[in-house]
């Protein structure tokens, strides 16, 4: 399934329990990095931090944290690559 935007992707993952939105302010320097490390090791969800301290931009982490999510996010692309390989 392709997505027209990153927002659409995150919304879809939220519906499936694969992404969580965090509205609590977090430190983007070390705190987010440690959260990412722990989530990746545990196979946890993607997190969208809406209020990283000192930034007006949200931060998305762990989007590609599990093989299942990667396969889902790139399903259309992987199928096309597979067809191209078959043609060669």
What is the pLDDT at residue 71? Answer: 82
Residues 39-67 pLDDT 10s? 999 999 999 999 999 999 999 999 999 98
Long-range own/partner contacts, residues 81-86 (CB < 8 A, 24 or more apart): none
Dihedral angle at the C-alpha atoms of 31, 34, 39, 40, nearest 10 degrees?
A: 140
* Residue 74 CB burial class (10 angstroms; 0-12, 13-18, ≥19): middle
Report how far residue 49's alpha carbon sits from residue 29's, in angstroms, rounded to the nearest whole number: 13
Domain spans of the chain? 6-87
Decide: 53 and 2 in contact? Cβ < 8 Å. Answer: no
């Amino acid at each position: 399934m392709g997505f027209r935007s990153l927002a659409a992707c995150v919304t879809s993952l939220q519906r499936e329990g694969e992404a969580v939105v965090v509205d609590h302010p977090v430190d983007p320097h070390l705190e987010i990095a440690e959260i990412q490390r722990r989530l990746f090791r545990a196979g946890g969800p993607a997190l969208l931090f809406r209020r990283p301290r000192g930034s007006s931009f949200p931060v998305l982490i762990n989007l590609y944290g599990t093989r299942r999510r990667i396969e889902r996010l790139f399903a259309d692309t992987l199928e096309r690559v597979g067809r191209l390989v078959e043609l060669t």
